[in-house]
Amino acid sequence: MKDPIKHFGFNAENYKWLFIGLAINVLGYILMIGGGSDDPNKFDGSELFSNTRITISPILIVVGYIIIFYAVMKRGSGKSSDAATPEEADLTKKSK
């Protein structure tokens, strides 16, 4: 098995928050679906402009994007500047 990449920014906790944010976004978009009518001559404003579609769904979508932003910006729990071996320390110094 290969060693994990030490300099990669995402770890298991970042992915957990990312998937939670994506799930909240998907839920928000699913709640926004619908409200149309099969009959083009019929208009039902209460179904189209319901509180779920106008208020709750956009709030969920914004909260989902905030959680995704947090997941991307969250620093890993390990020290990112410390290399595991002296060879990796040399590579880190050369890349800077």
Q: Chain centroid to CA 42: how far?
A: 38
Could you report the per-residue pLDDT of 29-54, keeping only the tens digit for each? Answer: 999 998 777 788 888 888 888 888 99
Taking every pair of Cα atoms in the chain, the longest distance, rounded to a whole number of angstroms, is 74
pTM as predicted: 0.67
Q: What is the pLDDT of residue 94?
A: 59
Domain edges within the chain? 12-76
pLDDT at residue 88 greater than cutoff 70: no
